[in-house]
Every structure is written in structure tokens, then in C-alpha cells.
Amino acid sequence: MSAAHIEFKTKWGLVVDIDKCTGCGACMVACQTENNVSPMEDASNKLRTLTWMLVYELKNGKPFPEAEVAYLPRPCMQCGNPSCVPVCPVVATDKNEDGGIVSQIYPRCIGCRYCMAACPYHARYFGWFDPVWPEGMEKAITPFASTRPRGVVEKCSFCHHRWNQAKDAARVAGKDPDNLPDGAYVPACVEICPTGAMAFGDLNNPKHKVYELSKSPYAFRLLERLGTDPQVYYMTKRDWVRRQGDNYLPNEKA
Amino acid sequence: MGLDRRAFIGLVAGGAVGTLFTPIPWKITDDLSIWTQNWHWIPRVPRGEVTYATTATKLCPSGAGLKVALAGGKPVTAYGNPEHPLSQGGVSPIGASEVYMLYSPSRVRTPMRKAGGKFEPITWEQAQADLTAKCKAAGNKVACISGDAGGTSGEVFSAFLSKIGSSAMYAMPGEAGPAAAGFKLMGGQGVVGFDIDNADCVLILGGDIFEGSGVSVRNRKAFCASRSQGGAVKARFAYAGPVRNHTGAVCDAWIPVASCQLGALALGVAWHLLKAGAAANAADMADFKKLVEAGYSPDKVFKLTGVPAEALAKVAASLAGAKAPLVIPGSEMGQGMGPGAFIAGMSLNLLLGRMNKPGGVMALPEMPAVFPGAETPSEILARDLAGFLKNVGEGKTPAPEVLLVHAANPAYGLPESAAMAKALEKIPFKVGFASFMDETAAMCDLILPGSLTLERYDDVVTPYGSAFCSYTLVKPLLAPIYDTKTPADFILDTAKKMNLALGHDSLEKALKEKAAVLAKAEGFMAGQVMPWEVLAGKDKPAFDAAGMWKALEAGQAWVKTGQVAQTGLSFAAKVLAALKPAKPELCLAGRAPQRVGTPATGIPAQCTTAIPASDFKDGDVYVSMNAATAKQYGLSEGSRVTLAGAGATCSARTHLSENVMTGVVAVPLGFGHTAFDAFSKGKGDNFLSIMSASPEAGTDMTVWTGSEVKIA
């Protein structure tokens, strides 16, 4: 049974140009520092690390010298038809009119991890341990995202707090907070990308870059055929990258 | 008994149903969710107005301007400054970690003196007395190793050394040193930079310019601007190197070649260009043609590098047919290249007529010094630190009596680290202006902790590779957290007390003077108009000299386009003729992504998650090689392997990657720290220790790219 597919007036979306991503990981660091993900001394066990934004390495599977490599940054897809929302027993996560961002309310979450099992993108992370900031480092905690105790699930929120800040700034300037110009609200990862490989905006607003980019013939979404309707689009001119966006059969066209 | 079982059950059930009609259960559930989660040991978010302030990163070599968010007046996180030409909003993982690094557990909190093998805290007065006494006794036998030779802080150290009669000022190795030495050998004047924005065909020889090399953020923005998302491609990029690294990943083509053979590859391309009639107005043009035709014919280059003639011909044709071709020499790990290899790469720019042209190589003027007696950064950078230390270690050169280490970690960040550590141990008195307890600080006799970027005044001056001069102010956003000082200020004060006044009372005053001098140098504040637009032909905007300091404080960069005319540029044919490219059976390629920081920073706390499992997993570091190489040595995915080179060994596990060329082992740098904090310590081995440092034939400068390795 799928969640009701509601269309929102504002639909925040991300477009990542895989052909530009160098895999540096600045987006991961920006996300962690912005959203108060505690630093992890030993981050080598990837089943225990909290990486709301995670950069994947893609290979074309060919031997040297035909080998190619690409990098794919993966935030939460903020699905239009999310798998995680209907399974939450306490409605700690919801897809409502708030710009189409799938919310995550930490105090409500009971840590059952049903949403993690449901998410096909592995975009949700469970706090197995209490977050630890070495003495003094807690001064680097930003006011933008609450700190989470162990036992709750967390995920990318498209830096929802920045949307609130942008709306406030618009109100102060006497402009319409519900009609933000392109670039007034961008998540930390998009802002910091040293290459400028990501674009962010309202997928429904023709004045925003992402409106056209998401309709590009080079654009695709991950696991589209599951029907999740993700709001994160990827662009590539390389067919072998595009083919890794879903489970295609060898003779199927991507 | 008045209450029987039935009545009792009735009362309890009735009471239960009754409470449902009261707010009690809902209040209890609400309270439960709060009181089971507001544990006092989870830190809270800060309160206070959110404001933003600007500065620039000193820990990341890209020189990006920073926009720092403050909550209640205290810095909490750092972003790139959208108005800054070297940032445009972007910043590397290192720059993004500047706030977190303030609070690294390995920060040195007070001056310390080594007594009986352990460090004891002392006051700044005691520290200054120690240093003064040792410097007076050493006379001119004082040396300095700096990780920041280009800025005004570097000038202070250089001026100090000059004043006491020493010319032993060295910079940590990078891309700038071989470039400075090589360009000098070519008779070049000025400092080279690369105008990627206006180029339409770029050949990158080795350098990881889209990761950590040079003005890497600027380079990436230029790359992005050359190909709008899903749109037309305005410039093509090819990467030549042993590994298809982060730079190679986004380039249109990869030419696999070992890093010790990049110079030979360049001359192989030159062979094709010469055949097609390319020539340059250089005094040794004929000699250059002769040596290329004799030594770098297509089959000679194929035998050496494995790159087929058609591939080289294709590269040459692309470059020759482009309107604005550009060749950028470098090392895949940002260090270890020789001036000879640099010259070989630059010879292509000469043949293509790219000197001082838009989209080509820009020879920039050196910035004026404000401390008399200071050497130019080029002079300092061109000195061979690795060679010097190696000679000290082997007793061929006398060790200095006092060593000042500033913003550098030579005990970790040099090749043949065991030999280098031996050399450092020979120096009787070592002073570390360290911010962190790194490997070098641990060896020092006196630690004078330096305030970090956000705690001090400083500047960022034209980082290497930039196509335009730039000057950015670094200003303190919070008072030093610990008992630290700005190293330059301490030196100025010490010099004054030794009756060797260097010219300014404080670094801040010197920076103001620097700005005043630059205000007369025909530049402008980057903002509405960016310097690469001026390079492309746009008009220089108006410049308000009187408002320069204020603009600098607001985070803007002063920039200047304009090049140094070349009067005697040559191919340095004598040097090129002497080059002897090696052909090792198995050689190393270093990978230096920014997520592991620099030798001077260690692995920043928030960057550990960006290190993939293919580099570090379950406590083991992984080296990469392709299946063909692995088969040759009986290795498979996950096999333990011991690598031997330079008389040392490193152990790791094997990761198979077809993005590494055959005959090469790609090793991740930044591991094997024995100092810093838990984020850096105890993770794998330092692969710099097995890289052999040897003199480059033709220049005698120490090189270590593509050094031979054996699998033990």
C-alpha cells in the first residue's frame, strides 16, 4: 500500500551533475558541521557512521585502461512517494506541505528503524552511540539542528533550517517568503561544493535553474521504477553511469 | 470484607477507563518522550543571534575566502565566501573544518619546554628567554622550515633569518618549489600561474588540480564554468598520470603514465608538435629540437612509458588545433616533482606560444615585501629542503644549531621520513610554532603554540597556480582559546628584544602597510568583476584606494591581472638533455585527497567519514593496484601486502582498482600519524616513508615522484 501522492506548490529539489563531481567529500563535511553530526574518531565501520550525505564511487566495470570512475553524492531523496513515511509507527516522519521535504522529528522517533528497512536508498541513519564531541569541540555546534541522543533515526533534511532563514530574510526585506528567488535557499552541501556540481531550487518554479535541469534528457533519478518519485535528480552524459541508476537488465535501455 | 474480587476489578477497570477521559495518560506519554531523551550529557545547541563574518583559510592551500557563521558572536561553522575569487562559495573539506580544528584535542595550549624527555609548561617570557639565548649562541646557524612562505608571516621569518645572517630558510615541498626552480632555469621572470578559465584545451600533466593542488577550488569553478550542466562543452581536459584520481575522474581523457615519466611524455608530445612545424622564439630552440628528435621519438617514448604513438599524436593535434591550449605540469601527490619535469611540461606551452596570453601561462609579479631583507617566496621555494635534510642526516652538510618550524610538519610530511627524522634529531635545538601536537612538535625542544586561522591576523598572498595576483586578509573572529600567540608577532617581539628590529611592531601593522603598498599597484577589489573576466578582455573596474583596508576587512580580495614580460625565456635545453627518466618495474603513485588534511593539520575531525572503505576499513589502510599488477604479485582483493622502499617498509591491504595503471601501486597519503589526536593517530602507515628521494639528473634537485617500490 503506498502513501497518497500529493503534489505541493513548492517542491524543493536537487540536481547533481555527476560529470562534474570529483568525489572530494566537501559536501559530506559541510553537512556534518552544519547539522551537528558528531565527529567520529574511527569512521571506518560504515555501518555505524552517520553520513546524511554520502559520496559513492561508481566504476564502469572495465579493465585498465578502459576503466572510468564517477562519484555520486547521495542525500535523502525526499521522495514524492516516500517508502519511509507510511511505515513509521509514531509518525516521526511525514511528507506534508512543507516544501515537499520529508520531515524527521527526533523526540517522536522511538528508534524502531522500520523506516531504515523501508528506505531503498539507505539514506537514513541510526544513532547507535551517544554523540561525543571532544572537550571544547561542542562549541562548534551550530544552532541549526538539534543534537540527537542515541536511539533515534536521522537523515538529510535539505537543511530545512536554511529555508526558514531564507523566508525570514524575505519577510524582513518586504518580499514574498513563499516566492523565493533562485539561490535564496540552498542546503550546505550545494553551497560548499568546490566544483559547483549541484543545483538546488523549486522544481515547480520555472525561474529556478532546477526546473529546466530536471527536464534535461541527461537527467535521471535513482531507482525510479520503484515509484518513489525522488526529488533528487542526477545528470550525466555517460551511459554507463546512467545504467547504475537502476537495476537494468543487460539488454535494457537506460 | 467490603470489597470482593468483582468489585475490585470493576473499580480498577472503571478507573482505567476514567483516566482515558482525563489528560493524564497523554501528559505522561508526552513527558516520557521528553524525559527519556533530554539526557544531560548530550550537548545543547547554542543560543544567540546568527551572524556571518569573513576571513580566509590558512590551513587549506587553495587560499579560499571563508564566510564563517557565528552564534551569539562565537564561530560555529565555516563556508566559502561567495564574493571571494578563490572561493565563489566553495571550499575544501579542510577549509570547512577550520572551526572544528580550533577545538582539536591535539591543540597545544601553552608554551612548553622539553625537560627530561617530557614537556613542561612554561610562560611566554621564559620561552622567549630560552629562544633568545639559543639564537644568540647560534649566531647565523639558524634554519627555518616554513609551510607558509608566501604570505607576510613568511616574510617575518625570512627577514629574521636575514637579519641574523642566515639564508637557511626553506619551504615545505609542494608544486610551487619545482615550478619556481624550473622557471628560473628557463630564464623566466615572475611566478607561473595557469589561466584555465580562458583555455579551451587543457593537458594536465600529473597535478591533482581539481582536488588539492594549487588553487584547487578556483580550478574546479573554472572547470565547471567551461561546461554548463547538460550543455555545450567549451573546453576539453585530458589528465596524464598514473592513477585516474579525482581530477582524472572528470577529465575527458586519461593518459596513463607513471609520474616519473611525465617529463618524457611531455617531450614526446613536443616531438609531434615540432614535426608539425611548431617553434618558439627562444635562444636554444635549435638545441631543444635536436634533443627531442634524438631522445623522444614516438617509439622511444612508447618503450619508456607504454603510451602509444597515436595517443601522443592525438594529444599534440588537439593542443595544436585549439585556440587557447594550456599544459599544466605537476605531481599527482602535490609534491616530489623535479624542475626538469616542470620545464619539459612548460616547453609545450612555449611551443604553442602560450606565455602571457589569455588561457595560457601567466607570469605574475612577486608581491612587494614590507619587511626589508626578506627573500622572495620564489627564492625560498626553490630551495631543496629534502636534499638539505638528507645531507644533514648523512653528515654531508653541518646541521644548523637552531631550527624554527612554522606551519609545517617535516618529521611526517617529507619522503624517506626515517632519514628525515634522523636529520632533524641532529639539530640540537628545535623550536616548533605548532598549533597541534604533531610529529615534529613532539620532537621539539621548545613549543611556541601558534594561534589558528580564526584567532589571528594574517594574509593569503597569490597561492600557487593562480592566473592573477591576489591578496586576502585573514582577521581574528575570536580571541585565542588557549595561551597561544600569532607566530609572526612573537618573532617581531623577540627580534626587537634582540636589538634586531625588523621594521614593524606587529603583524597587523605590517598588513596595513602591505595593503597601502598594494593600493598603488594598479589592481582592483574582486566582486562585481572577477579577474578572469578582465583576463578575457573585460574592462578593469574602478578602484577606491582609500577604501581598500575596509574592503579587505569585509572579506573581499584585492586582485591584479597583468604579467611580467619575458625577455630571456628558453627551453633550458641543457637541463632537458640531461634528464634520465626512470623505468621502474613497480613504482608508487601517491594519492593526496583533501579529506585527510595536510601534514600540518592531520585528519580533521569531521573528515573521517569522507574516507571511503576502499582507503581505510576495519583498522587497515588499503593500497590500490589493478588486477594485472595484483596477479603478477600473487595478490587479490584484501590480501595483506608489505611495500618496501627507501630502506623502510609499510604494510597495508590490497584493493583492486582498474583506475590505477599496470605497474603502479597507488598509496593513500595522510595515514600513519603517530601524533595529533585520535582522529589521525594509529591509522595505517605513512607511505611517504617508503618514497626514495634522489637527485634529478640535470638539476640535482631532490625528486620522489614515481619512486620504485618492491613488494616484500
What contacts B6, CB < 8 A, 6 or more positions away? none
Chain A residues with CB inside 8 Å of B593's CB? 24-25
Prior bond of A131 cis (ω within 30°): no
List the single residue in A with minimal CA-CA distance to B605: A39
Closest residue to A147, CB basis, from B42, B105, B210: B42
pLDDT tens sequence across B450-493: 999 999 999 999 999 999 999 999 999 999 999 999 999 999 99
Interface of A with B in 76-105 (CB under 8 A): none
Closest residue to A39, CB basis, from B37, B256, B679: B679
Q: What is the DSSP string of A60-112?
A: --PPTTS--EEEEEE-----SS-SSTTT-TT--EEE-TTTTPEEE-TTT----
> Residue A89: which CATH number?
3.30.70.20
**What residues pair up with B434 in beta bridges, in sequence order?**
none
B308 at the A interface (CB within 8 A)?
A: no
Q: E-strand spans in B500-541?
A: 524-525
Closest chain B C-alpha to A124 CA, distance in angstroms = 15
Residue-wise over A57-84: b if at least 16 C-beta within 10 A, else e?
A: ebebeeebbebbbbbbbbbbbbbbbbbb
Backbone angles phi, psi at B127, to 5 degrees: -60, -45
Chain B residues with CB inside 8 Å of A23's CB? 246, 249
Of B221, B224, B212, B223, give the one whose Cα is nearest residue B57: B212
Grid cell at residue B131: 629562544
Report the C-alpha gap between B169 and B149 in whole angstroms: 9
**What residues pair up with A104 in beta bridges, in sequence order?**
A93
Give pLDDT, residue A37. 97
- Say if A251 falls within a structural domain: no
Q: Indicate the average pLDDT of chain A.
A: 94
C-alpha separations of B676 from A218, B212, B333, B475, B667 in Å: 45, 21, 22, 25, 21
Around Cβ B694, how many Cβ atoms within 10 Å?
A: 18
Confidence band for A171, pLDDT divided at 50, 70 and 90: very high
Q: Check: CB of residue B407 under 8 Å from CB of residue B378.
A: no
Handedness of CA B674, B677, B683, B689 (dihedral sign): negative
Closest residue to B211, CB basis, from A22, A46, A199: A22
Checking A122-125 for CB contacts under 8 A at 24+ apart, the result is A123/A52, A123/A74, A123/A75, A123/A76, A123/A77, A123/A155, A123/A156, A124/A76, A124/A84, A124/A153, A124/A154, A124/A155, A125/A49, A125/A50, A125/A51, A125/A52, A125/A153, A125/A154, A125/A155
Query: Is the CB of A143 less than 8 angstroms away from the CB of B76?
Result: yes
- Say if A128 falls within a structural domain: yes
Q: Is the confidence at residue A2, as pLDDT, over 70?
A: no
B410 at the A interface (CB within 8 A)?
A: no
Of A130, A133, A44, A28, give the one whose Cα is nearest residue B105: A133
Closest residue to A65, CB basis, from B43, B246, B256: B256
Q: What is the DSSP string of B444-487?
A: -SEE-PBP-GGGS-EEEE--TB-SSEEEEEE--SS--SSS-B-H
List the single residue in B with minimal CA-CA distance to A63: B658
Domains in chain B and their CATH numbers?
Answer: 5-35 (no CATH), 50-102 (3.30.200.210), 189-283+296-365 (3.40.228.10), 583-711 (2.40.40.20)
B612 at the A interface (CB within 8 A)?
A: yes
* ipTM reported for the complex, 2 dp: 0.96
**Start-end of H helices in A119-230:** 160-172, 188-192, 209-213
A43 at the B interface (CB within 8 A)?
A: yes
A214 at the B interface (CB within 8 A)?
A: no
List the single residue in A with minimal CA-CA distance to B101: A137
Grid cell at residue A94: 511525514
What contacts B658, CB < 8 A, 6 or more positions away? A59, A62, A63, A64, A66, A67, B626, B627
Report the C-alpha gap between A39 and A42 in whole angstroms: 9
Query: Is the CB of B90 less than 8 angstroms away from the CB of A133?
Result: no
Rounded mean pLDDT of A174-184?
96
Closest residue to B617, CB basis, from A44, A136, A192: A44
Closest residue to A196, CB basis, from B102, B224, B627: B224
Closest residue to A40, CB basis, from B75, B608, B627: B608
Q: Check: CB of residue B333 under 8 Å from CB of residue B590.
A: yes
Give pLDDT, residue A90. 94
Query: Is the CB of A194 less than 8 angstroms away from the CB of B92?
Result: yes
CA angle A128, A121, B626 (to 5 degrees): 95
Helix (H) or strand (E) holding B488: helix B487-497
Chain B residues with CB inside 8 Å of A37's CB? 606
Instruction: Determine which of B658, B673, B676, B677 to mutate to test the interface with A (most A C-beta atoms within 10 Å).
Output: B658
Grid cell at residue B329: 605540469
A17 at the B interface (CB within 8 A)?
A: yes
Q: What is the DSSP letter of B365?
A: P
Report the C-alpha gap between A232 and A224 in whole angstroms: 11
- Say if A117 falls within a structural domain: yes
Residue type, B343: I
Give me the domain span that covers residue A160.
Answer: 12-245
A106 at the B interface (CB within 8 A)?
A: yes
Q: Indicate the average pLDDT of chain B.
A: 96
Give pLDDT, residue B280. 95
A169: helix, coil or strand? helix
Chain B residues with CB inside 8 Å of A143's CB? 45-48, 50, 71, 76
Chain B residues with CB inside 8 Å of A71's CB? 246, 249
Query: Is the CB of A39 less than 8 angstroms away from the CB of B628?
Result: no
Helix (H) or strand (E) holding A202: strand A198-202
Chain B residues with CB inside 8 Å of A139's CB? 46, 74, 76, 102-103
- Say if A6 falls within a structural domain: no
Tell the residue number behind the cell numbers 595505517, with chain if given: B684
Q: What is the DSSP letter of B435?
A: S
Give pLDDT, residue A172. 97
Around Cβ A113, how many Cβ atoms within 10 Å?
A: 15
- Say if A254 falls within a structural domain: no
Task: Count contacts between A and B (CB, < 8 Å).
Answer: 251
Query: Is the CB of A196 less than 8 angstroms away from the CB of B220?
Result: yes
B18: helix, coil or strand? helix
Q: Check: CB of residue B158 under 8 Å from CB of residue B374.
A: yes
Q: Which residue ranges in chain B fall short of pLDDT 70?
A: 1
Instruction: Determine which of B250, B596, B621 to mutate to test the interface with A (most A C-beta atoms within 10 Å).
Output: B250
Q: Check: CB of residue A166 under 8 Å from CB of residue A185.
A: yes
Q: What is the DSSP string of B378-413?
A: HHHHTS-HHHHHHHHHTTSSPPPSEEEEES--HHHH
Give pLDDT, residue A1. 40
Interface of B with A in 209-228 (CB under 8 A): 210-211, 216-217, 220-221, 223-224, 227
Grid cell at residue B585: 618495474
Q: What is the DSSP letter of B48?
A: S
C-alpha separations of A204 from A75, A201, A211 in Å: 20, 9, 6
A39 at the B interface (CB within 8 A)?
A: yes
Query: Is the CB of B613 less than 8 angstroms away from the CB of A44?
Result: yes
Closest chain B C-alpha to A211 CA, distance in angstroms = 13
Taking the CA of residue A74 as centre, how many other CA atoms within 13 Å lie in the half-sphere pointing to its CB? 23
- Say if A5 falls within a structural domain: no
Query: Is the CB of B45 less than 8 angstroms away from the CB of A36?
Result: yes
CA angle B674, B676, B682 (to 5 degrees): 40
pLDDT tens sequence across B295-333: 999 999 999 999 999 999 999 999 999 999 999 999 999
Grid cell at residue B486: 600569532
Domain count, chain A: 1
A146 at the B interface (CB within 8 A)?
A: yes
Exposed/middle/buried for B531, CB within 10 Å: 0-12, 13-18, 19+? buried
